[in-house]
Structure 1
């Protein structure tokens, strides 16, 4: 994978996260080398299961920042252990399911803060999962057993997250304008499932464009296949930059 030729932009960089949904370590590290000047974070899911903390350290050594998308969900005592582990690991963002409840979330926050103080290391941003972008209202109502609209459920969970001390949430770009006025200033809104204009949905249901996400106030756009599978990765990155630039015009 060749290095992208797009001119780096520091103000845009930290608003972009590249999801490394790859199962080959060499390909993952090649992607980090190719895109590290243009994206602020690299998101790990199954790759962390395969290669573990060693992969995290290799990416950190290359100057990349880690979004560890573990979607943690367990009893409070277990999350306490994760809070310390995430600080020790040195990741920058980690996700947790808000549906685990306030006690679990508060213990996660408490543990991470305590570990950061004791170890004199930065605390990662703790970001709550609201409703997966692969889920629409019909599945949420009929299978998950939650009534009402997706927007209402995202806002309900976002308020729980803010009250518990989390730093932000994950939601689709479609909920941003609805929820943003009800949340604290500086609360990080992370939007996966964003695509170039005219792209397919893949396995997401609530899909929006880069421009939709930026207009709605997304603090971090999570992209993956639209960049990694692009025929021209330069053009793919440039399109994201253009959406960010248009918002500042």
Structure 2
């Protein structure tokens, strides 16, 4: 898909970070005429199972399955096959699992999608979590250097494995685009409009700044889901995103 053809609303994923399906679907229904892609993470999926994917698809939403697969290549290939069979728009794996794991994930997704005659989901590599600061990276995870250089190295590895893009913070977008090109997707969590609190994420950015840096997709959670009026919050963000769209310049 050419990113230049996407509407602002198509570039936003709403993180349904709920512990039950009823609340998640209630929120999705309130946003149904504004944003079309919902992110389903570990908490909601383990509580609701694959039924949440079916219910969202029945309502016309796309799904970004955010379960961050990280296991031996054969196991991840099996997980990729399974999630693809549910018709998700996108899912992710940890780049830290290595080249073979990522290759097998993409290959399994392509094979299952072709067998079912459905669109191949976008397979995205998780580089470093937005909660990871340099001290955590160096002293706890045991990777030397700064976060940005690690993320860019992981992005190159994901591209070599044939993945469609990576998850990273907005602060790494420019470096990833320089290293991997404009067509390599960047999915950016940790997005906060100026009127929302940062909470527990360290490497955050506003929607305007992320899109101007070249982000492909923005993942927004609490700023919408915890708002007094989620639909109004979504519309405010969409207005901000629309105003940030460049008329010319870097490929979006």
Pick the TM interval, shorter chain.
Answer: over 0.9
**SS across alignment from 1:208:** coil
In the TM superposition, structure 1's runs of 4+ consecutive aligned residues that sit over 6 Å from their partners are none
Deviations 1:79-126 (A, max 9, x none): 121121122111111010000000000011111111112221221110
Q: Distance in 2 between matches of 1:202 and 1:134?
A: 10
Structure 2 residue aligned with 1:6: none
Structure 1 residue aligned with 2:37: 41
Query: CA, structure 1 residues 234+86, in 2 after alignment: closer, same or farther (shift >3 Å)?
Result: closer
CA contact (8 A) 1:195 1:223 kept: yes
Q: Distance in 2 between matches of 1:196 and 1:43?
A: 18
Q: Among 153, 158, 175, which residue is 1:156 paired with?
A: 153
* Structure 2: runs of 5+ lacking an equivalent: 1-5, 247-252
Structure 1 residue aligned with 2:112: 115
Q: Distance in 1 between matches of 2:7 and 2:89?
A: 18
Question: After the TM superposition, which of the residue ranges 38-47 and 14-23 deviates more from structure 2?
Answer: 38-47
Structure 2 residue aligned with 1:14: 10
Structure 2 residue aligned with 1:169: 166
**SS across alignment from 1:14:** helix
**SS across alignment from 1:69:** strand
Deviations 1:11-70 (A, max 9, x none): 111100000011122111111111122113111111111111111101100001111101
Alignment of 1:175-194 (within 5 A): 175-194=172-191
TM-score (norm 1): 0.92
Q: Distance in 2 between matches of 1:78 and 1:159?
A: 23
* Structure 1: runs of 5+ lacking an equivalent: 1-9
CA contact (8 A) 2:27 2:230 kept: no
Question: After the TM superposition, which of the residue ranges 239-248 and 19-28 deviates more from structure 2?
Answer: 239-248
Q: Distance in 2 between matches of 1:119 and 1:98?
A: 27
> Does residue 1:76 correspond to 2:73, yes or no?
yes
Q: Distance in 2 between matches of 1:193 and 1:41?
A: 17
Could you tell me how far 1:198 is from its partner in structure 2? Answer: 4.9
- Name the Cα RMSD after superposition: 1.4
> Does residue 1:30 correspond to 2:26, yes or no?
yes
